[in-house]
């Protein structure tokens, strides 16, 4: 399971938590939440209850997409302290537009032209 650490402005934490509860109920997947109120980090852990792996595999991406969209809608980001990595890279466009992603790819190519440093960790590059 991925490390989920959506960050929102401190003033939006309560609203975000309420929204995640709604999303959790809509998807019928319990989500445990805790975090750091001082910096707006909200850690979320979806719990697989009463479903097989296939059902979990179908539900989880939709749940996570809705949670990340909610975080961004409250002026937040899909990751506050644990980074993007392999698990969140599919969701990165939710919080960043293509122009910014293209800039990030250009920087990656400039410093790592052979794509040997953490290949595929945040996004995939074509060399």
Q: Choose which CATH entry (3.30.70.2740, 3.40.50.2300, 3.40.50.1980, 3.50.50.60) describes domain 4-85.
A: 3.30.70.2740
Please return the burial class of 73, using the count of CB atoms within 10 Å of its CB with bins 0-12, 13-18 and 19+: middle
Q: Give the pLDDT score at 119.
A: 92
| Strand segments (E) across 10-111 | 31-36, 41-46
79: which DSSP letter? Answer: B
Q: Give the pLDDT score at 87.
A: 87
Q: Do residues 70 and 16 lie in contact, with contact meaning Cβ atoms separated by under 8 Å?
A: yes
Q: Give the pLDDT score at 1.
A: 57
Question: What pairs with residue 43 in β-bridges?
Answer: 5, 34
* Separation CA 1–CA 11 (nearest Å): 28
Q: Give the pLDDT score at 82.
A: 87
Q: Give the pLDDT score at 86.
A: 87
Q: Give the pLDDT score at 80.
A: 87
């Amino acid at each position: 399971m991925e490390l989920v650490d959506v960050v929102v402005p401190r003033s939006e934490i309560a609203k975000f938590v309420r929204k995640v509860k709604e999303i959790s109920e809509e998807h019928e997947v319990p989500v445990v939440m805790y975090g750091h109120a001082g910096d707006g980090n909200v850690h979320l852990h979806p719990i697989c209850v009463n479903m097989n792996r296939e059902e979990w595999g179908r539900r989880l991406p939709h749940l996570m997409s809705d949670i990340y969209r909610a975080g961004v809608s409250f002026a937040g980001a899909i990751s506050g302290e644990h980074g993007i990595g392999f698990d969140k890279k599919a969701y990165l466009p939710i919080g960043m537009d293509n122009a910014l992603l293209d800039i990030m790819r250009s920087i990656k190519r400039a410093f790592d032209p052979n794509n040997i440093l953490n290949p595929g960790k945040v996004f995939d590059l074509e060399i």
